[in-house]
């Protein structure tokens, strides 16, 4: 494919407006041709449809779709898109379950279209330098601290508290997408404690203990109740010093000396995602890494659920 990729954006919530629309507008390889949402209104005078079935019936020429819906409803939409021969960009998490994502990957392969399970935090400025620095070094331990105020970052998003909405693991999976990228060895869940509000179905906080294949411990602390300063940090102690990847992966320091600084707002990684999507579409490939989702699933499998006070927004 040499012409611009004609893309429809599906699910016009906060993330679509804040991140996807600007990233698409700044990408010369992609042309936004339509938007799809059960709610909202047209964008920039483009065709607007209530669902993907109406989009397919409309005759609007589409090469690809980016799905920004909640994960619980994404599989059926993605499956329909694949059947139309459209390439599919999946917002994170790529699905509500591992089985959904692997089935979509197989369907895309059979249909000959590209499927992209996007992990935006991997495109933060410090991630690849951190991966390079850790390569070949001995990891002694690591600590993941992801604490944010749900009222600030996810206002009114009731889906996040429903089964398949992940709760605090919605941002926590961003941390795991970075950790699985930068740490040199696979790691696995040993124990987990999940704090679940008595009026919700998904955790508001969690503590997870991992261990890698060499026996090094990795501790993760997630909390949606953080007030004041927010924390999105990964610290890795090695035989050659301590690496700190802070502010969601945008600032890298080694032994206290800043190696990479980035002054953009958190979650400014979407231009990189769309560059990658255009790349795999043109190459006729897919990019579907389920490692972060698998670790979240394992935390739920091995986790002890602890009832805590109700959460009222």
d(CA 22, CA 245): 26
Distance CA 201, CA 78 (A): 25
Full 3-state SS string of 138-201:
CEEEEEEEEECEHHHHCCCCHHHHCCCCCCCHHHHHHHHHHHHHHCCCCEEEEEEEEEEECCCC
Q: Which token pair is 180?
A: 């699985």
- Residue 92 annotated to the active site: yes
Residue 85 has, within 13 A of its CA and on its CB side, a CA count of 4
Residue with tokens 């972060």: 292
The active-site residue out of 92, 140, 247, 257 is 92
Residues 6 or more apart in contact with residue 169 via CB below 8 angstroms:
202, 203, 206, 222, 296, 299
List residues with catalytic annotation.
Answer: 92
């Amino acid at each position: 494919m040499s012409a611009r990729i004609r893309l429809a954006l599906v699910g016009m919530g906060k993330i679509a407006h804040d991140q996807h629309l600007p990233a698409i507008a700044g990408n010369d390889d992609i042309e936004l041709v339509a938007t799809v949402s059960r709610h909202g209104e047209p964008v920039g005078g483009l065709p607007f449809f209530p669902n993907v079935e109406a989009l397919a019936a409309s005759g609007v020429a589409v090469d690809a779709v980016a799905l920004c819906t909640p994960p619980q409803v994404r599989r059926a939409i993605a499956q329909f898109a694949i059947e139309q021969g459209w390439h599919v960009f999946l917002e994170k998490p790529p699905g509500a379950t591992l089985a959904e994502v692997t089935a979509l990957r197989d369907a895309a392969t059979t249909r000959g279209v590209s499927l992209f399970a996007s992990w935006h935090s991997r495109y933060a400025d410090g991630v690849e330098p951190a991966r390079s620095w850790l390569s070949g070094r001995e990891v002694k331990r690591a600590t993941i601290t992801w604490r944010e105020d749900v009222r600030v970052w996810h206002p009114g998003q009731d889906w996040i508290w429903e089964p398949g909405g992940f709760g605090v693991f919605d941002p926590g999976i961003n941390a795991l997408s970075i950790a699985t990228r930068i740490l040199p060895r696979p790691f696995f869940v040993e124990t987990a404690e999940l704090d679940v509000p008595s009026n919700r179905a998904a955790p508001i906080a969690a503590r997870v203990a991992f261990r890698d294949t060499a026996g090094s411990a990795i501790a993760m602390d997630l909390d949606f109740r953080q007030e004041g300063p927010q924390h999105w940090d990964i610290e890795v102690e090695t035989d050659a010093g301590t690496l700190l990847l802070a502010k969601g992966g945008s600032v890298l320091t080694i032994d206290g000396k800043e190696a990479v600084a980035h002054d953009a707002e958190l979650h400014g990684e979407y231009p990189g995602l769309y560059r990658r999507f255009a790349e795999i579409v043109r190459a006729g490939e897919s990019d579907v890494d389920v490692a972060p989702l698998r670790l979240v699933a394992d935390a739920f499998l091995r986790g002890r659920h602890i009832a805590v006070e109700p959460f009222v927004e």
